[in-house]
Every structure is written in C-alpha cells, then in structure tokens.
Amino acid sequence: MFRQISLALLAVTVSPSFAISQDIGPAEEDVSGPPQNYSPFIERTVKNRGLAEGLYWGDTHLHTMFSTDAGMIGNTLTPVDAYRFAMGEEVITSSGQRLRIDRPLDFLVVSDHAENLGLPVMLAEANRDLLATEYGQRLYDLVQAGEGYAAFQLWGNDGVAQNRDIIDNPKLDRTIWERQIELADQYNDPGNFTAFIGFEWTSINNREKPSNLHRVVLFKEDGRKASQVTPFSAYDSPDPEDLWAYMQGYEDLTGGSVMAIPHNGNLSNGLMFATERLNGEPIDAEYAETRMRWEPIIEVTQIKGDGEAHPALSPDDEFADYGTWDKGDIGGFKPKMPEMLPFEYARSALQVGMQQEQKLGINPFKFGQIGATDAHTAVSTTRDDNFWGKMPSSEPSPDRWKHYVIQSFNGDETLSTFEYEALASGLAGVWARENTRSAIFDAMQAKEVYATTGTRIAVRFFGGWDFEGADVFRPNVVDIGYSRGVPMGGDLPPQGEATAPVFMLGALKDVSAANLDRVQIIKGWIDTEGARQERIYDVAVSDGREIGEDGRARQPVGSTVDEVNATYTNAIGTAELRGVWTDPDFDPALPAYFYARVLEIPTPTWQAHDEKFYGMKMDADVPRSHQERAYTSPIWYTPEQ
C-alpha cells in the first residue's frame, strides 16, 4: 500500500498538468504564527558587508611557461597544467617528474608577466610575426641553438631591465592575452573551482633604485570584459600610479571590477610602502585614497621570504626572524640599508600608514594580508614535504639547494639569493559566501582574508566592544562575531560606553599538518609623540603553559622534530585554540590596529626532507625546522573626532 501511494504521488509531482509543490504552497499573507521565527536561519541576513559562509584556499600569484623568466629557463608547463594541478590532477613537471597536490585548491590566479607575455610560447611556435622583428629572430636563433638562458639574458639586459619593449608588437600581446583569457574561462567552474583572469605588472627600475614594486592585477569578471583591454606592463610605465589609471580606465570602459595585489615588500629596498611618490614628491591625500581604492590587500609571505616582520624592527618578538630575506633589492643591485626596513615589512608599514593618516586624513597602507607562492614552475606547492621550488631549476634534485633563485645583476655574490633560502610559502585563506569569482573578489575587497606560510590553518578573528569570555566557545560564535562586532579587515564601530575593545580569536589546525603552539594578537599604534609602537600578546597557548602578567607565555612549546629523518609528532601542542582578549593598555585617543598571528609547533623544512630523501647534507646554517604560521588581516581602531 505504501509503495502504491508513493508511486501515485510521484506521478502527480512530475506530471506537467500539476503544479509543483512550491506553486501550491501557502501565500505569505496566509501564514500565521508567532511574531518571531523559530528557525534561527530565517533572519540570517547579510550584516557587516556579508556573513561569510566558507573558507576557500588559493594562490593569487603563479607563473607558467607564458612568463619569459619561466618559459625561457626551462618551464614547459602551460596554464592548462597549472589549472589541472590546482584542481588535484597529476602532472608531469618540467623536469619530468610526477607530481600531485595534497588537496585541491579552491581558486587560482595564473599571473604571467605582462612584459612580452607569452614570448617563450611564440618562440616555440616560431610565430611569424615575432620572427619578423629583429630581437624575435635573435632570440629564436639562440633558443634553437640550445642557448635558452642566453636568450633570457638578452631579453632581460636589453629589454625589461631598461623598461624597453624589444619586441614592440601589440598584435602579439593581444594574441597571447586572449589565449590566457580563454583558458581561465574554460577552467572556471563556479561552485567548484575559481580561475581568475590576471597578469603581473613587473616594475623593476624606479628613480634609479631597482626595486620590487610588482603587482598582480586581478579581474573580477570573465573574458567578455577583460578582453576589451590588454595587460598594462612596465614598458607602459614603471609607476604604480599609472597602473591605477589603467585600472580606472578599464572600469570606466567595461563596468567591470579590478584590483592590484602588491607583492611582499622585503625586496623593494624601502619603496613598497614609501611616503614619497616615485617622482620624489610626498604622498598626499589623493595618493592615499587612490592606492587604497585599487590595492585593498597585499601579499605578505611567499617563496622569496616572509614580509610580516623583521627582527631589527621587532627585537622583542622571538618569532620575527622567519624566512628573512634582507640582503638587498630583488635583482641584487644594491644592498639593504637599515633605514629601508620600516617601509618594507607589513607590521611597520601598517604603523606608517596610521602616521600618514594623521597628516593626510587618509591611511594609504590600510591593507589586508594574504599569502601566495610566486612560483615560476606552474605548480603551486606549499607543503614542505611536497615543495617544487621557485624556478624549474629548483625542482627536486640532490643539489637544488645550491641553485640561484636570482643571481646578482651587478656581480656581487653577497647580494645573490639561493634556493636553500626559499620558503615553501604561501597560501591565501578567504572567507566568502561561495566559491565564485564574484564572491571571492568581494571578500578580498572587504579584506576578510588572511595569509598562511603554506598550511591550511583555519582562523577566525572578530573585534568589538562587548564580547564575553564564554562567547568564543558558543556554537554560534560566528554569528555573535558578525552581529556584535566586525571580522578581520574591518573597522571597530563607535566605542560608546565601553572602556576597551574586545577581540575573539579562534584557530583550528590543518587536519593534515601540525598542532598549534599559540595564538597571538599583534597590536600596533601611534603614541602621543607620533611615534610607531607595537606589542605582542599571547591570547591562548597549548600544553598548560602560563601567560604572564606581561601578556606573554615565555616558555617555548618544545619540539618533536627529528631532523635526520624529517619527521615530527603531534605529541605536543593542541588541535584548537580559542580566546577572548581585552586590550589592557587601551588609550581611546590613540589610533591602533590589531591582527592575529597563529603559530604551529615546529616541523621539518623542505630542506630537511631533501636531505632525508637524497641522503646528502646541506650547509650547517640551512634551516631544518621551523614554525609555520598564519597572519590575519587587521582590525583598526580610529579615535572619534
């Protein structure tokens, strides 16, 4: 009987002569009941620019053979390979090895260099228009003779180092750009995998100070809009203000949206967060407003070093000396000077931004933080036990640790960088409504994002004025965070009668990685004399260690790392840490920012894994263990006027 009834109902449901269930449901005016809804999800509406539902992981900075400094020095993988790898498929790398990611990414930006985009591909295809140019033929002849690196040097010395387009054929630029766009649209799968359209603008030489002012330019929409322009390159201008004008022109032309993501500033020799424009004039309110319009987030960690903090700037921070690259600028032209450091690292730059806000009325460096790889291998690998290096020459081999990342352009070996100095970093964590271009882009603009150095630590960070200690342990903690405060990337609401801001912080370990050591809040502020200040507070620590009156747990978590065998255990640390913290030193007259840093217990580095796998030894000063970490975007406090 029950079977007959079910079949009859099924027949009614699918028959075109009957209305579906929604069509015959009660009208809104016919619904009676109590004034409040029993279901808590009826009123779960967008607040504070969006109730983020999911955590999505991705890489916003990856190069394929379409980039000249990749394809001409050994990278044979295309954007197709990059997307396939990010989605979890096996690929054969440029060195002929099999490779698969541990877990698929949710989104990816193939960000090949705008400067002669696709030149290696056109050389491989013997493109007729390319060979009709003088340098195109010279480069082709070198490549055919097996002198690919010599071809790269010719292109670099005569071209990009001089901000000179030695090919100068707009038709070629558009041909490859359209190919890139087509592939991004082809692999974009809303809800499952997001492939953004993007490119890298690679400004190297400014005011005769070689620097790393590079930006990834990221488009929100599909190729129908992005194809109406071609990438803006350093040949067009090395000045980011001209890049911003290009971006404004794109939005005016198409009605679309675009942003730029500056790379970590540690190789810029003080220019990334300088208080002077490239023309030597002081930055002004218009500059500050324009910069924050187009650059809401920065890349704070990547293979070429970590850009959160420097030990010379943060001498009281025992964790500041992590992945430190401070020899000189990106090309090894000029050495690093101490006075450059405050304008290169995120923690101090956030403070510089607040100083400038007091002068200009607008903060030029009010950015969120993400991680990315900047790998030139077409594969985004951030696990130390699965790291494929910076360049094709640094894919796994017994001697890769001695290979150059960038050999000094002026011949000073003390300014060269080597693969053993590289980090297997980083990743972008994005809290977004869904895995689509629009939702992830909007979350980036809202700065509800954070960086990790490679693992997938889940982090929530909220700021408000009336959170209570038990709130962080409630099952609806996220709803509490949004309804009574702001998430990472936000501004604290007006103070009201509260005496000090209160922050909720929670972190959950990567299920496939190490336990957590501690969660911290980094506070930066400008004192009454206008000077930059910072302080670190431990909010929650593992293993029963005590947090002292100074706000710090001074006892290290210890280590289970076996460097010889490149192993560790999770016998120390904990899987989850939560805490509610009230600023004990709050002065309502002083502007401040707060961001969270999460530290894992020590684990083996990729260098230790290489030593074990190949049965060899590196130099004694090569790191064999480290503590992976996450950095959230800040929450800002601004005194009421």
Q: Tell me what pLDDT residue 38 has.
A: 75
Q: Do 300 and 184 fall within a single domain?
A: yes
- Sheet with 502-508, edge to edge strand ranges: 485-487, 458-464, 502-508, 576-582
Q: Tell me what pLDDT residue 163 has.
A: 82
Share of the chain above pLDDT 70, in %: 91
Which residues, at least 6 apart from 593, have a Cβ–Cβ distance to it below 8 Å?
A: 350, 351, 354, 523, 524, 525, 634, 635, 636, 637
Q: Do 503 and 405 fall within a single domain?
A: no
Does residue 456 contact residue 428 with C-beta atoms inside 8 Å? no
Residue 34 covered by a domain? no
Does residue 512 contact residue 591 with C-beta atoms inside 8 Å? no
Token pair belonging to 96: 């002929």
Q: Which domain holds residue 487?
A: 458-637
SS3 string of 232-243?
CCCCCCCCHHHH
Band of residue 104 on the pLDDT scale cut at 50, 70, 90: very high
Residue 22 covered by a domain? no
CB hemisphere CA count around 579 (13 angstroms): 18
Radius of gyration, alpha carbons of the chain: 26
Q: Which amino acid is at 581?
A: W
Residue 250, pLDDT > 70, answer yes
Global pTM reads: 0.92
Label residue 134 exposed, middle or buried (CB < 10 Å: 0-12, 13-18, 19+): exposed
Task: Kindly state the DSSP code that residue 571 receives in the 8-state scheme.
Answer: S
Token pair belonging to 68: 């000249």
Q: Tell me what pLDDT residue 3 has.
A: 35
Which residues, at least 6 apart from 466, have a Cβ–Cβ distance to it below 8 Å?
A: 484, 498, 502
Q: Do 473 and 351 fall within a single domain?
A: no
Token pair belonging to 455: 């693992």
Q: Do 380 and 494 fall within a single domain?
A: no
Token pair belonging to 316: 């009281």
What's the total number of domains in the chain? Answer: 2
Last residue of a domain, one of 391, 412, 446: 446
Which residue blocks in 273-378 are alpha helix, DSSP H?
285-294, 346-360
What average pLDDT score do residues 523-551 get?
A: 97
Q: Do 557 and 442 fall within a single domain?
A: no
CA distance 388 to 400: 10
Q: Do 399 and 496 fall within a single domain?
A: no
Does residue 81 contact residue 187 with C-beta atoms inside 8 Å? no
Neighbours of 590 (CB within 10 A): 15
Does residue 591 contact residue 525 with C-beta atoms inside 8 Å? yes
Q: Which amino acid is at 33?
A: G
Residue 6, pLDDT > 70, answer no
CA distance 256 to 186: 19
Task: Round to the nearest angstrom and report the end-to-end CA distance of the chain.
Answer: 75
Residue 208 covered by a domain? yes
Q: Do 497 and 425 fall within a single domain?
A: no
Band of residue 32 on the pLDDT scale cut at 50, 70, 90: low
Query: Which residues make beta-bridge pairs with 59?
Result: 108
Place of tokens 């029950």: 2
Residue 8, pLDDT > 80, answer no
Place of tokens 């890139």: 180
Token pair belonging to 183: 């592939």
Q: Tell me what pLDDT residue 50 has.
A: 47
Asked if the peptide bond before residue 426 counts as cis, ω within 30 degrees of 0, the response is: yes
What region does 165 belong to: left with phi over 0, alpha with psi -120 to 50, or beta? beta
Phi then psi for 11, rounded to 5 degrees?
-65, -40
Q: Do 163 and 235 fall within a single domain?
A: yes
Q: Do 428 and 502 fall within a single domain?
A: no
Residue 12 covered by a domain? no
Residue 15, pLDDT > 50, answer no
* Cα→Cα distances 396→97, 148, 354, 537, 607, Å: 9, 21, 44, 39, 10
Label residue 498 exposed, middle or buried (CB < 10 Å: 0-12, 13-18, 19+): middle
Of 211 and 386, the structure prediction assigns the larger pLDDT to 386
Q: Do 441 and 472 fall within a single domain?
A: no
Place of tokens 């090309």: 331
Does residue 266 contact residue 311 with C-beta atoms inside 8 Å? no
Does residue 63 contact residue 378 with C-beta atoms inside 8 Å? yes
Q: Tell me what pLDDT residue 21 has.
A: 37
Token pair belonging to 601: 């217990």
- Sheet with 297-302, edge to edge strand ranges: 305-306, 297-302, 368-371
Among 47-61, 111-125, 354-368, the least confident range: 47-61
Residue 550 covered by a domain? yes
Residue 25 covered by a domain? no
pLDDT, tens digit, 9 for 90 and up, residues 463-484: 999 999 999 999 999 999 999 9
Q: Which amino acid is at 602?
A: P
CA distance 596 to 488: 9
Residue 325 covered by a domain? yes
pLDDT, tens digit, 9 for 90 and up, residues 324-346: 999 999 888 899 999 999 999 99
Last residue of a domain, one of 416, 446, 476: 446
What average pLDDT score do residues 50-64 get?
A: 87
Q: Tell me what pLDDT residue 333 has.
A: 85
Residue 277 covered by a domain? yes
Phi then psi for 519, rounded to 5 degrees?
-120, 140
CA distance 587 to 11: 70
What average pLDDT score do residues 279-289 get?
A: 96
Share of the chain above pLDDT 90, in %: 84
Token pair belonging to 26: 């009660």
Q: Do 436 and 544 fall within a single domain?
A: no
Q: Which amino acid is at 222?
A: D
Last residue of a domain, one of 412, 446, 480: 446
Label residue 548 exposed, middle or buried (CB < 10 Å: 0-12, 13-18, 19+): exposed
Q: Do 269 and 242 fall within a single domain?
A: yes
* Cα→Cα distances 553→295, 322, 412, 424, Å: 36, 19, 42, 28
CA distance 20 to 12: 9
